[in-house]
Amino acid sequence: MVTIKVQSVDDIIKAYLQTLECCSTKKLSVLVPLLKNLLGNLDDKAVDVISLLDELVYKKSLTIFGNIKLTKSQMISLCKFCFLESGGFNRWNDELFVPTTSKNFKSVLLNFKISNAPSYKLSHMLAQQIEPIRPKNIFHKLFSFRKKNVSL
């Protein structure tokens, strides 16, 4: 089991960015201070940094996918998925977190054809035909199985 020791807010932000496949130390060194500034005062120990970062992604997803009716967690997941599929940090750098949205970024993310799975529907099951057991077939299967195993 892996143990992670969190020493600062920077570690939490770095881990969040790494879940979004930002593994370059050069990009992390630029993005961590940027996000820290965007989040504001994080000195209070009761602050949930992950939810604040998700809130930034949610605000961005509303500007991009505002006309889609999804829950908050679904919107965040949709935005993260489209961001990763469109090239992630290699193509867009900090575009996911900055308040402004470029037209190119928005159009690329909207071009992904993603749909929710349809809701399930319960219905009455029709009667199934049950075939009777035929002893002749069972004996044949048993003896043919034995012959195959003996030859091995």
For the cut 60, the answer to whether the pLDDT of residue 152 exceeds it is no
Q: Using one digit for the tens of pLDDT, what is the confidence trace for 82-105?
A: 888 888 888 888 888 887 888 888
The residues, any chain, with a CB within 8 Å of residue 99's CB and separated by 6 or more, are: 59
Coil, strand, or helix at residue 125?
coil
Q: Is 89 exposed, middle or buried (0-12, 13-18, 19+ CB in 10 A)?
A: buried
Q: What 8-state DSSP symbol labels residue 50?
A: H
What residue ranges do the domains of the chain occupy? 9-110
d(Cα 43, Cα 83) in Å, to the nearest integer?
30
Q: Using one digit for the tens of pLDDT, what is the confidence trace for 21-45?
A: 887 788 888 888 888 888 887 776 6
pTM of the model: 0.67
Predicted pLDDT of residue 87: 85
Residue 136: band (very low, low, confident or very high) from pLDDT cuts 50, 70, 90: low
Question: 51, 72, 70, 62: which is closest to 99 by C-alpha?
Answer: 62
Predicted pLDDT of residue 1: 60
Q: Scanning the structure block, which residue is given the tokens 């993603």? A: 114
